[in-house]
Structure 1
Amino acid sequence: MGVAYSVGEVDHLYTFFVQWSPNIYMQGSKKHRKPRHFRKKNPNDSVAAGKEVAAINTLRGKPVSNLNSAANWEIITVKQTKRRLSLCSLEDSEADEQEFQEVGNTLPVLSDHSQLIDDHHLKTLVAHLPQRTQSYKWYLVYSTAIHGSSLKTLYRNMAGLDSPVLLVIKDMHKKVFGAFSSDPFRISKYCYGTGETFLFTFSPDFQQYKWSGENSYFVSGDLESLQIGGGGGGFALWLDADLYHGASFSCPTFHNPTLSTHQDFIVQDVEVWTLKN
């Protein structure tokens, strides 16, 4: 059975065989002393090393050259090898961090000005959205400042939508929190949504609470209330028909703490944004 190697493993194997093959100690004069950590030379070592390097070069997409030539080998210490591998890992980490920062420094295009989230909030949220939605434009679907406080209006404004939505709430203690839903809010007898759904809070620092996998009580709603998360005797987020009273409890769906200042809170403002390509 063959052995599958990842790109990182292939690079590390390549470094090992190129830098430490016993073949390099059979070149040159007898003045070259063998390091103490190498065993006695075996005539088959050079052949085996050549085959290994050839196989790894093939995996890396490099042409197989004259592997027995002394020009193909380099003598370095164990310390140097570890340092080079550490530098490679550092470069990979820095590249990943730079990519994350580039995403995090990108502001989404908004159809309207938000009353609840500033540029810092927007940058942070974009970096934590599902990757497929990070370049989407944000359209304001509902706002209590514009449409009044009515769950019916919220549902009506989302009728016909087929795109994810972002719910943002500010309570009377100025705490900002909410949820990303993979599906637009609607009246439904059963729960709906996918594992992309998550909770967030900005007080005092940004925290994200992803799906725990314990249940699928993502979103449900009727004319009396909107509920997000559940299964533990309380909802992660609950809003009444007037979008005036709310509640937030820890629940198995997201393993979240209370998002608001208190478990029962008074709503100051609500915004719902839909994200479209």
Structure 2
Amino acid sequence: MSWGPTCPPPPRLTQQPWHLLCCSRQDSFSLQTLYWFRGQLGSPTLLLIRDTEAQLLGAFSVTTICCSNGFYRTGETFFFFSPELKVFRWTGRNNFFVKGDIDLLMIGGGSSKSGLWLDGDLHYRGSHPCKTFDNETLSRWEEFCIQDLEVWGLV
């Protein structure tokens, strides 16, 4: 059973159909897979993670998650976690939205800490408070284990 988008995207995207692009229960479990199963280039992306303590966390971006030489995206990028839905939006303090390569995906940054980071094999992952979103740690622990990962997008 898929979780589906749980945090509302910007209003201009609410009438468009969202589709499951990548799911750790069905696809191989790596960043390479996440980059491979992307939606329409430039389309919004919703990354959902459930950790082994049943915490749901994730990030929304108005463009596709992909490999890059530097940070990209816009101020519409945000983090969230639940069970009590809490959203962390761009503070305007920096532009460290998303940076990805084959070995590491980072979302948010500042003070040498990433708001959310995933290694290439998705074996190591973590969350720290960061200046981009002025967020809390998104999981109960700064380093956590992924139980399920889903990527949703527009196709």
Determine if the alignment matches structure 1 residue 218 to structure 2 residue 100: no
CA distance in 2, matches of 1:189, 1:158: 18
Task: Report the Cα offset of residue 211 of structure 1.
Answer: 0.3
Counterpart among 153, 167, 190 of residue 47 in structure 2: 167
TM-score (norm 1): 0.54
Determine if the alignment matches structure 1 residue 239 to structure 2 residue 118: yes
Determine if the alignment matches structure 1 residue 151 to structure 2 residue 31: yes
Q: List runs of 5+ in structure 2 lacking aligned partners.
A: none
How big is each residue's C-alpha offset from its partner over 1:10-61, in whole Å with a ceiling of 9 and x where there is no partner?
A: xxxxxxxxxxxxxxxxxxxxxxxxxxxxxxxxxxxxxxxxxxxxxxxxxxxx
CA distance in 2, matches of 1:153, 1:234: 25
Does the 8 Å CA contact 1:183/1:192 hold for their aligned counterparts?
A: no
> CA RMSD for the aligned pairs?
1.5
Partner of 1:178: 58
Which has the higher relative contact order, 1 or 2, with Cα contacts under 8 A spaced 6 or more apart? 2
Does the 8 Å CA contact 1:236/1:256 hold for their aligned counterparts?
A: yes
CA distance in 2, matches of 1:159, 1:272: 9
Matched letter for residue 127 of structure 2 = S
Counterpart among 103, 109, 116 of residue 230 in structure 1: 109
CA distance in 1, matches of 2:153, 2:72: 17
Percent identical among aligned pairs is: 40
Matched letter for residue 220 of structure 1 = K
Q: Which has the higher Rg, Structure 1 or Structure 2?
A: 1
Does the 8 Å CA contact 1:165/1:272 hold for their aligned counterparts?
A: yes
Partner of 2:80: 200
CA distance in 2, matches of 1:160, 1:134: 17
SS in 2 for 1:238: strand
More strand by share: 2
More helix by share: 1
Does the 8 Å CA contact 2:55/2:139 hold for their aligned counterparts?
A: yes
Matched letter for residue 116 of structure 2 = L
Task: Report the Cα offset of residue 234 of structure 1.
Answer: 0.9
Does the 8 Å CA contact 2:39/2:153 hold for their aligned counterparts?
A: no
Counterpart among 64, 70, 75 of residue 190 in structure 1: 70
Partner of 1:258: 137
CA distance in 1, matches of 2:139, 2:126: 8
